[in-house]
Structure 1
Amino acid sequence: MMSFTVGDVVAERDIHLTRESLVRYAGASGDFNPIHYRDDVAESVGLPGVLAHGMLTMGIASSVVVAALGDTGTITEYGVRFTKPVVVDPADGAHVHVLATVGAVDETSARIDLKVTFGETTVLGKAQLRVAI
């Protein structure tokens, strides 16, 4: 059984997204909104460029914790606020950083707080998941 102490780092990881990542996610999710693959459409609606799917960013963040916990943890709750977009450059892609720390512990669960950033910008706010212990 894994023990959790407030402040401990559960996991930390950098994820590199490419335009190919977005195409693969679109195929898996069925979300073919052109703001996720066409610069001209993204720019025509006032966006700075092609954006990663919000749910892709959310999924990546939780997968970092799942990979760290393995079979030792069961996620019982997960929530985020989408605060800023992840702009995926056609040549360089985008780097997303996930830092997962223990925010609170009680008798039955631990709250894991996620700090998810793109450059210096936090892209998911109030990103927290609860793990049964």
Structure 2
Amino acid sequence: MSDFTDCTVGTELPPLELSFTRADLVRYAGASGDFNPIHWSDRAAAELGLDSVIAHGLLTMGRALRVVTDWVGDPARVRSYFVRFTKPVAVPDTDEGVVVRVTGTVTAVDDGVATVAIEAVCGETKVLGAAKAEVSVA
């Protein structure tokens, strides 16, 4: 969206489907330096009572923000971003991995800044809570 003149409370951002695979987790571990075995070892995950390897929280958080950055067209427009991690994203050992569906809705527009509520759901499970971003739309 390049013209934000019609950005009002209730504006829905185009939804986004994000695929997470084990290969994505390996790449993120290398980039971030987070080699916690719960992100690559089923045995380590099971020892902590997890059903499966889980995606890194910050990977989930960062990728979910794309619903906003794709909409505004420039990541530099993001003024703030906040989430709470509610449930981990379990990533099966398959080529397909798992899909997280992300949506966004404008909840406020004030002085050229839109507040966007973000929802990220894996299956029927909400994986991010209280997620919101503030973005410049002026």
The alignment's TM-score, normalised by the length of structure 2, stands at 0.91
Number of equivalences: 133
Counterpart contact for 2:13–2:67, Cα < 8 Å: no
Instruction: Name which of 62, 69, 93 aligns with 1:59.
Output: 62
CA distance in 2, matches of 1:85, 1:117: 11
Gaps spanning 5+ residues in structure 1: where?
A: none
Partner of 1:116: 120
Amino acid across the alignment from 2:101: H
Structure 1 position 131 matched with structure 2 position 135: yes
CA distance in 2, matches of 1:8, 1:41: 43
Counterpart contact for 1:13–1:99, Cα < 8 Å: yes
Gaps spanning 5+ residues in structure 2: where?
A: none
CA distance in 1, matches of 2:119, 2:16: 11
Moved over 2 A (4+): none
Q: Once the two structures are aligned, what percentage of the paired residues are identical?
A: 47
1:9 counterpart SS class: coil
Partner of 1:2: 4
Instruction: Name which of 80, 89, 93 aligns with 2:97.
Output: 93
Partner of 2:85: 82
